């Protein structure tokens, strides 16, 4: 009997991975106690993560065919989608665990709402990565985006949070407008809006199809906070709570990057689209690396610095995608995983250590040694130090880029690493070689719980760097069906 | 002990040492015993590996496979074994001296310092035994990160600034120059493993060879090639045990070994294809040697003077390695050994003098040799070796370097090496002579109980070691010959 239920759950794993956080959100809203609400939220997110991870193991390691069941709304999990769903659901669960102090810090009235919004955001992003139709992708992503905006509104300092939320809302509107216009152009050119049809469509107007795909991707690029289109990230992150920072800075940005990779993976199969798309993504990626790195060097707030560093790393992901080859898509997946792990370590450690401005980072290793370790590993991975997952991601990009003669991409990644030596090296120097001068933010008991995700992310950063076989196999399997040599 | 076990031992022993000195920080006696005994064990392992290399045994240990087709691996070859054995032997003396120094100076955080000294030693061993470019890159980064806290050890603004320069220059060079060169090599060859005879031989055009050589040599900023030498003078604010690690037993030798491995195992005969870059770098090294020696002459503070002097010596290694001749590679290897012995002696002697007399300026050294005869006798021997006076280690290295330069038709390089030796004499010779022959100062000691044996014996033994190349130069040539002779 239980085996039958298990088989049924496996058959509908994509749907359950989406529904688990959404149902958890509904349950969290019904419970007034912040602690119980948080516990239910964590459990539902963990259940979703477990199901998505099991699906990824079956599809990417055991080479099973992804389930393709009509679920009322059509889901069509491909390799990149399955990889993305697993990563996003795990990040959502970890963000919920690390967000424990946020829910405590906020008034008890709003804490269940914040947890529900975080779960809505996670569920929405997962749905977007598994959806078979571009309209559904857009709707699911918009749900997630608006939930993230709501989460930011509930963050600690009302005025600053509202300012950040307003900018996010504007960015979301711009992104949506671009995406909707793009969808209209694709529909007009090919008459089909399914994701898989991007690779097959016999467009009546290839030019319109190419522009349409470009506009759709531009919408996601705005939402991924990729410089110079990420005008919203500075104000959004500077006063965000830990939960909001994790949901936007890790779950949101990783999801947007995964969507870009997924849509581009299908679109590159069209010869009319591939060349221009590659050029545009490469240009934006290179620009993002430069702008994000410079902004990170100048940042004086740890969350801002991490956000700008993330934007620079996201530029690297776009470079990978721009290659348009299976190796490039696999590199993009590895890079995005590296970005997620580093950001989780940094944001969660900042929360656990009560770090806000860089001045409050001084002496962190003495007063909170484990948080200091997490900051250090997050920083060295951003630098791309060997034996971390950050190095692995860059190596895969460089390997793929050199394979097609994109030597300038090697230069761009070298610049990114050099800039990271300055901004991430500063984090290590402040945490380990300075004495505390400014009192950190007051904390409750939640920092102990918050340390767990920070340390888990640190362990992942190093363990995968040392033994990357499983991740590389999954990324290669996810990307193997996509792309053509540019 | 099997060679494989010894190879793991040279890495594991210092790592264990770092953990144990932190865990057993009190009582200090136990901490010190751990520090010295595990240094001794590292030296024994390194000596075992010299034996394995002499017997031509193939020893390779894979630690991890972090990239497809690229291992994090250690292997034994004569050059690495020699440098590891020298660093290991000097490391024992350094460990004893550190124990004496932290006790005499009432060092506030001795366990932390000893732990990072041990980590630096492990990283230096990893550089010496690196089996491929990737392992060397990782080990270089690890060495930089291990020494960074030593430079910043005092914790004041000056030392933090120096540490930032140290970290910034070495990491930036490693990431910005060495890493692209490594990637390029991987793209050309499809592997990164070192090969006697050169992995690039026959696989690279002239332009690429020239660019790659420049990237590799400048990327190995630990060799202190201008303009990436700033980290060395900056790090002179570090505590004395850290200075010994930087200039004597870990950082500078690691830079030298890196350059020789690149010249012999990455380029080999392909170094002739990179003749333009090699000549340019030799000019840079030759002029840098002379400039560093002149600057050293202008410095009254002996930490700074020794820092610049070590730059001049390290550049001789680069010059020898790039001559594209077996004699040049041999000269470079001898120079690493000679500089390691001499710099270790000089920096340890400086530490002893500083902690006992609180003197660190050249003018204050006059006559101190009469009060501290053993320490200054060793100081004089080491100075003579740095200068290149026969029969000390440095003389043989310089002789081979000048011979190799002349053999390569680069008489101007030989002249620059000779001029640098004269300038080294100018900044070290009178100092040693004045310390031994000057009038003894009244009440030179700030400590009533004088020097402990832990502060003097290592200096004397290390100074005596500068004589050993006199006895083993010929056997060393045959021991090292596999480095430049493809199998």
Give DSSP secondary structure letters for A242-256.
HHHHHIIIIIIHHHH
CB atoms within 10 A of CB A63: 8
Beta-carbon separation of A386 and B137 below 8 A: yes
> What's the confidence (pLDDT) of residue B457?
92
- The answer to whether the beta carbons of residues B269 and B197 sit under 8 Å apart is yes
3-state helix, strand, coil in chain A (%, to 5): 80, 0, 20
Question: Is A101's pLDDT higher than 70?
Answer: no
> What's the confidence (pLDDT) of residue A485?
42
- The answer to whether the beta carbons of residues A14 and A68 sit under 8 Å apart is no
Sign of CA dihedral A232, A34, A86, A461: positive
Beta-carbon separation of B176 and A422 below 8 A: no
Beta-carbon separation of A421 and B163 below 8 A: no
**Could you read off the pLDDT of B320-342 as tens digits, one per residue?**
999 988 889 999 999 999 999 99
> What's the confidence (pLDDT) of residue A202?
64
**Could you read off the pLDDT of A386-397 as tens digits, one per residue?**
889 999 988 888
In which residue are the tokens 């000195």 written?
B21
Which residue pairs from B25-33 have beta carbons closer than 8 angstroms and sit at least 24 positions apart in sequence? B25/B110, B25/B111, B28/B103, B28/B110, B31/B110, B31/B111, B31/B114, B32/B99
**Could you read off the pLDDT of A161-212 as tens digits, one per residue?**
788 888 889 999 999 999 999 999 888 888 778 887 777 666 667 777 888 8
Residue of A nearest to B154 (CA): A433
Q: Which residues of B have a CB under 8 Å from any CB of A?
A: 64-68, 72, 134, 137-138, 141, 149, 152, 155, 160, 163-164, 167-168, 171-172, 175-176, 179-180, 183-184, 186-187
Q: Cα–Cα distances in Å, from A475 out to A57, A265, A335? A: 12, 13, 10
> What's the confidence (pLDDT) of residue A102?
57
For residue A228, whether the previous peptide bond is cis, meaning omega lies within 30 degrees of 0, is yes
b (16+ CB within 10 A) / e for A324-362:
bbbbbbbbbbbbbbbbbbbbbbbbbbbbbbbbbbbbbbb
The percent of residues in chain A predicted with pLDDT above 90, rounded, is: 37
| Ordered DSSP codes for B70-103 | EEEEEE--HHHHHHHHHHHHHHHHHHHHHHHHHH
**Of B342, B347, B330, residue with least CA distance to B484:** B330
b (16+ CB within 10 A) / e for B102-112:
bbbbebeebbb
pLDDT confidence bin for A68, thresholds 50/70/90: low
What average pLDDT does range A257-281 have in this prediction? 85
Maximum C-alpha span of chain B: 67
**Residues of chain B with C-beta less than 8 angstroms from the C-beta of A383:** 171, 175
Tokens representing B293? 């020696």
Q: What values do phi and psi take at B59, rounded to 5?
A: -125, 125
- The answer to whether the beta carbons of residues A479 and A82 sit under 8 Å apart is no
Tokens representing B156? 């004041």
**Are β-strands B60-67 and A73-74 bridged in parallel, bridged antiparallel, or unpaired?**
unpaired
> What's the confidence (pLDDT) of residue B13?
95
> What's the confidence (pLDDT) of residue B420?
92
> What's the confidence (pLDDT) of residue A106?
53
- The answer to whether the beta carbons of residues B163 and A429 sit under 8 Å apart is yes
Beta-carbon separation of B176 and A414 below 8 A: yes
∠ CA B459-B257-B80 to the nearest 5 degrees? 85
Task: Report how far Cα B295 is from the mean position of its chain's Cα atoms.
Answer: 20
**Of B308, B468, B331, residue with least CA distance to B399:** B331
> What's the confidence (pLDDT) of residue A209?
81
In which residue are the tokens 């040279």 written?
B10
pLDDT confidence bin for A356, thresholds 50/70/90: confident
Q: Cα–Cα distances in Å, from A181 out to A141, B265, B374? A: 16, 58, 85
Tokens representing B323? 């001559």
Beta-carbon separation of B175 and A386 below 8 A: no
Q: What values do phi and psi take at B71, rounded to 5?
A: -100, 155
Sign of CA dihedral B413, B414, B419, B423: positive
In which residue are the tokens 């010596």 written?
B313
Contacts of B466 (CB under 8 A, 6+ apart): B338, B341, B342, B345, B381, B382, B384, B385, B392, B393, B394
**Residues of chain B with C-beta less than 8 angstroms from the C-beta of A385:** 141
- What is the domain count for chain B? 1
d(CA B360, CA B371): 16
* Residue among B64, B66, B70 with most chain A CBs within 10 A, to mutate: B66
b (16+ CB within 10 A) / e for B120-148:
bbbbbbbbbbbbbbbbbbbbbbbbbbbbb
Helices of type H across B174-227? 179-189, 206-219
pLDDT confidence bin for A123, thresholds 50/70/90: very high
pLDDT 10s digit of each residue in chain B, 487 long?
Answer: 898 999 999 999 999 999 999 998 888 889 999 999 999 999 999 999 999 999 888 899 999 888 888 899 999 999 999 999 999 999 999 999 999 999 888 888 889 999 999 999 999 999 999 999 999 999 999 999 999 999 988 888 889 889 989 998 999 999 889 999 998 999 899 889 998 888 998 888 999 999 999 999 999 999 999 999 999 999 999 999 999 999 999 999 999 999 999 999 999 889 999 999 999 999 999 999 999 999 999 998 999 999 999 999 999 999 999 998 888 999 999 999 999 999 999 999 999 998 888 888 888 888 888 888 899 999 999 999 999 888 888 888 898 999 999 988 889 999 999 999 999 999 888 888 888 887 877 777 766 666 688 888 999 999 988 887 777 878 888 888 887 776 6
> What's the confidence (pLDDT) of residue B115?
95
Contacts of A169 (CB under 8 A, 6+ apart): A149
Answer left, alpha or beta for residue A414, where phi above 0 means left and psi between -120 and 50 means alpha.
alpha
d(CA B426, CA B434): 12
Using the Cβ of A410 and the Cβ atoms of chain B, whether some distance falls under 8 Å is answered with yes
- Specify the range with the lowest mean pLDDT, choosing from A102-106, A109-113, A133-137, B390-394: A102-106
Which residue range is the domain that position B48 belongs to? 3-484
């Amino acid at each position: 009997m239980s085996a039958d239920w298990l088989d049924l759950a496996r058959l509908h794993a994509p749907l359950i991975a989406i529904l688990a956080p959404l149902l958890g959100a509904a349950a969290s809203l019904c419970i007034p106690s912040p602690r119980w609400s948080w516990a239910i939220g964590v459990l539902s997110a963990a259940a979703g993560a477990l199901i998505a991870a099991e699906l990824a193991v079956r599809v990417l390691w055991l080479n099973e065919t992804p389930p393709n069941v009509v679920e009322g709304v059509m889901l069509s999990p491909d390799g990149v989608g399955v990889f993305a769903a697993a990563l996003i659901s795990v990040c959502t669960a970890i963000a919920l665990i690390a967000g424990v102090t946020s829910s405590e810090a906020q008034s008890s009235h709003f804490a269940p709402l914040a947890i529900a919004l975080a779960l809505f955001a996670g569920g929405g992003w997962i749905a977007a990565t598994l959806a078979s139709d571009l309209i559904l992708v857009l709707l699911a992503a918009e749900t997630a985006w608006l939930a993230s905006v709501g989460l930011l509104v509930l963050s600690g300092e009302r005025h600053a949070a509202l300012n950040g939320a307003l900018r996010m809302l504007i960015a979301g509107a711009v992104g949506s407008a671009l995406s909707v216009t793009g969808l209209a152009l694709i529909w007009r050119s090919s008459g089909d809006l399914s994701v898989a049809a991007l690779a097959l469509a016999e467009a009546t107007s290839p030019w319109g199809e190419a522009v349409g795909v470009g506009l759709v991707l531009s919408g996601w690029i705005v939402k991924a906070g990729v410089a110079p289109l990420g005008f919203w990230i500075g104000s959004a992150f500077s006063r965000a709570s830990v939960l909001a920072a994790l949901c936007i800075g890790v779950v949101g940005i990783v999801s947007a990057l995964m969507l870009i990779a997924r849509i581009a993976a299908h679109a590159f199969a069209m010869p009319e689209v591939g060349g221009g798309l590659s050029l545009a993504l490469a240009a934006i990626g290179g620009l993002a690396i430069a702008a994000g790195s410079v902004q990170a060097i100048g940042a004086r707030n740890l969350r801002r610095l991490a956000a700008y560093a993330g934007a620079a790393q996201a530029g690297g992901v776009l470079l990978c995608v721009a290659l348009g080859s299976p190796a490039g898509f696999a590199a993009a997946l590895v890079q995005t995983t590296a970005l997620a792990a580093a950001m989780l370590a940094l944001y969660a450690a900042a929360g656990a250590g009560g770090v806000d401005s860089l001045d409050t980072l001084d002496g962190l290793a003495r007063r909170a040694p484990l948080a200091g370790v997490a900051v250090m590993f997050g920083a060295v991975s951003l630098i791309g130090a060997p034996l971390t997952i950050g190095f692995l991601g860059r190596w895969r990009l460089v390997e793929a880029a050199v394979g097609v003669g994109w030597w300038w991409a090697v230069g761009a990644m070298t610049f990114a690493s050099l800039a990271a030596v300055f901004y991430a090296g500063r984090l290590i120097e402040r945490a380990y070689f300075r004495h505390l001068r400014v009192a950190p933010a007051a904390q409750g008991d939640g920092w102990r719980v918050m340390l767990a995700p920070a340390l888990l992310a640190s362990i992942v950063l190093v363990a995968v760097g040392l033994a990357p076989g499983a991740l590389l196999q999954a990324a290669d399997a996810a990307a193997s069906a996509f792309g053509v040599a540019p | 002990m099997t060679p494989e076990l010894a190879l793991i031992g040279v890495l594991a022993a210092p790592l264990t040492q770092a953990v144990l000195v932190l865990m057993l920080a009190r009582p200090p006696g136990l901490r010190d015993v751990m520090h010295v005994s595990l240094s001794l064990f590292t030296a024994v392992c390194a000596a075992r590996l010299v034996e394995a290399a002499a017997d031509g045994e193939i020893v390779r240990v894979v630690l991890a496979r972090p990239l497809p087709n690229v291992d994090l691996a250690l292997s034994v070859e004569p050059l690495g074994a020699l440098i590891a054995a020298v660093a290991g032997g000097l490391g024992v003396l350094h460990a004893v001296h550190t124990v004496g120094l932290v006790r005499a100076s009432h060092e506030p955080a001795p366990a932390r310092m000893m732990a990072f000294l041990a980590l630096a030693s492990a990283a230096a061993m990893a550089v010496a035994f690196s089996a491929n470019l990737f392992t060397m890159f990782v080990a270089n980064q690890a060495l930089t990160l291990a020494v960074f806290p030593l430079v910043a050890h005092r914790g004041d603004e000056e030392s933090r600034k120096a540490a930032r320069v140290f970290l910034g220059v070495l990491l930036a060079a490693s990431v910005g120059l060495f890493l692209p060169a490594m990637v390029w090599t991987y793209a050309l060859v499809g592997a990164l493993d070192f090969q006697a005879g050169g992995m690039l031989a026959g696989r690279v055009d002239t332009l690429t060879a020239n660019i790659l050589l420049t990237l590799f040599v400048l990327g190995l900023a630990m060799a202190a090639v201008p303009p990436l030498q700033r980290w060395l003078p900056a790090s002179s604010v570090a505590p004395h045990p850290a200075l010994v690690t930087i200039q004597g037993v870990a950082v500078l030798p690691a830079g030298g070994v890196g350059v020789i491995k690149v010249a012999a195992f990455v380029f080999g005969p392909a170094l002739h294809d990179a003749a333009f870059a090699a000549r340019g770098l030799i000019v840079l090294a030759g002029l840098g040697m002379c400039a560093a020696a002149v600057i050293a002459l202008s410095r009254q503070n002996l930490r700074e003077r020794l820092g610049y002097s070590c730059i001049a010596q390290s550049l001789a290694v680069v010059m020898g390695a790039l001559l594209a001749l077996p004699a040049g590679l041999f000269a470079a290897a001898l120079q690493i050994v000679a500089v390691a012995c001499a710099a270790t002696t000089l920096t340890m002697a400086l530490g002893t003098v500083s902690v006992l007399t609180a003197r660190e300026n050249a003018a204050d050294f006059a006559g101190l040799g009469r009060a501290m005869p053993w320490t200054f006798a060793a100081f004089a021997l080491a100075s003579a070796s740095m200068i290149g006076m026969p029969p000390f280690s440095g003389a043989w290295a310089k002789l081979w370097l000048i011979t190799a330069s002349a053999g390569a038709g680069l008489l101007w390089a030989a002249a620059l090496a000779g001029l640098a030796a004269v300038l080294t004499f100018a900044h070290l010779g009178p100092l040693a002579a004045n310390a031994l022959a000057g009038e003894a100062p009244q009440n030179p000691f700030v400590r009533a109980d004088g020097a402990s044996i832990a502060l003097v014996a290592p200096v004397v033994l290390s100074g005596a070691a500068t004589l050993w190349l006199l006895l083993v130069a010929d056997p060393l040539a045959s021991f090292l010959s596999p480095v430049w002779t493809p199998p």
